Amino acid sequence: MSFLLRQLRIGRSSAFRSTRTLKSRPMPSNFFSLGLGQVHHLPLSHLERRLYSSGLPGKSNYEMNQKIIYGLLGLNGAIFLYGNYLKIQLQQAFKQDSFGPRRAAAEAYQKFATNFSCSLASVKAGKWWTMITSTVTHVEPFHLLGNLVSFYFLAEMLAMTPFISPGMLGTIIVGSAVTGSVGYLVQRQQRVKAQGGGIDNRSCMGFSGAVMGVGTVAALLFPKSQVQIWGIIPVPLWLLMTGYFLYDGYYLNSQDSRTGHAGHLGGLAFGAAYYFAKIRGLRYGGF
């Protein structure tokens, strides 16, 4: 299990620890990915027949759900490209002798960093929106790729479920993402208090909270669906998500980890709560 968990690392990057260090060092290369090669769904034909016969919408839901999924994939990709464009501009500006371009590029990059990463300092300064914007922000390509590939396959499982409406899918994604940010901030606040107070600029970003929430709902709906890790190792979805839960719980209070384990658990908790409060009754109602 320990070897499996090392291969299944998924996280919110702890980049942008302090905007004051942007000029002096490169962005930390810290990325984790679910590494889903394929997801083999359990047959849904029986479930679909029962739901369609009751008059519930199916095809229209799926089409709208797909628009949500592709829209979020595009949004994550666009913000990634914009952030890296600003980073390249900053690097090029510091190769010039003129102070003006350097200052302009540094200010643009710092503005992006402070508005698209989430920290206690930023939230206490009134930038509450960073709890949302940080969840669709990545600075490393493999961090982005791992999260989006994982999100796509897991979200598709929900999108193809006839009783999952676009509103429900959107609630799962946004709720898990924001709850992930809340989980991270709560843990940072506890650590600041334990250390005697002070300003905490350590920040987080990434779509992993949403991935964990979506994955949790998918695992509760279709626990025996087979997931191929890296396209090689088949495991049931319930085991995969249980492994993540145990991994994040074990390293939750690690001082050396650069992964936002509390953010993962926050997203997972929202997914589980939403399933039992909203989806479970729909799943078994009328069966």
Q: How many CB atoms lie within 10 A of CB 198?
A: 10
CA angle 167, 169, 175 (to 5 degrees): 95
Residue 284 is predicted with a pLDDT of 58
Scan for tokens 């990915």, then name that residue: 33
**C-alpha separations of 138 from 16, 142, 265, 284 in Å:** 11, 9, 19, 38
Residue 58 is predicted with a pLDDT of 55
Q: What is the domain count for the chain?
A: 1
206 compared with 93, residue with greater pLDDT: 206
Q: Are the beta carbons of 143 and 13 closer than 8 angstroms? A: yes
Whether the per-residue pLDDT at 267 is higher than 60: the answer is yes
**C-alpha separations of 44 from 66, 135, 180, 208 in Å:** 17, 31, 30, 27
Q: Are the beta carbons of 158 and 237 closer than 8 angstroms? A: no
Whether the per-residue pLDDT at 7 is higher than 70: the answer is no
Q: What is the pLDDT of residues 28-85, one digit of tens each?
A: 222 233 433 333 333 343 443 344 333 344 568 899 999 999 999 999 999 999 999 9
DSSP letter at 197 equals -
Q: What is the mean pLDDT of residues 208-220?
A: 96
Q: What is the pLDDT of residues 101-117, one digit of tens each?
A: 788 888 899 999 999 99
SS3 call for 40: strand
Q: Which of 30-39, 203-212, 234-243, 273-282 shows the lowest per-residue confidence on average (mean pLDDT)?
A: 30-39
Whether the per-residue pLDDT at 223 is higher than 50: the answer is yes
Q: What is the pLDDT of residues 143-163, one digit of tens each?
A: 999 999 999 999 999 999 988
Domain at 11, CATH number:
1.20.1540.10
Query: Which residue range(s) make up the domain with 30?
Result: 2-284
Residue 27 is predicted with a pLDDT of 29
Residue 253 is predicted with a pLDDT of 82
Q: Are the beta carbons of 212 and 267 closer than 8 angstroms? A: yes
Confidence grade of residue 20 (pLDDT, cut at 50, 70, 90): very low
Q: Are the beta carbons of 225 and 40 closer than 8 angstroms? A: yes
Residue 16 is predicted with a pLDDT of 36
Beta-strand (E) ranges in the chain? 36-40, 226-229, 233-236
Q: What is the mean pLDDT of residues 157-175?
A: 94
Whether the per-residue pLDDT at 122 is higher than 70: the answer is yes
285 compared with 164, residue with greater pLDDT: 164
CA distance 76 to 133: 10
Residue 71 is predicted with a pLDDT of 97
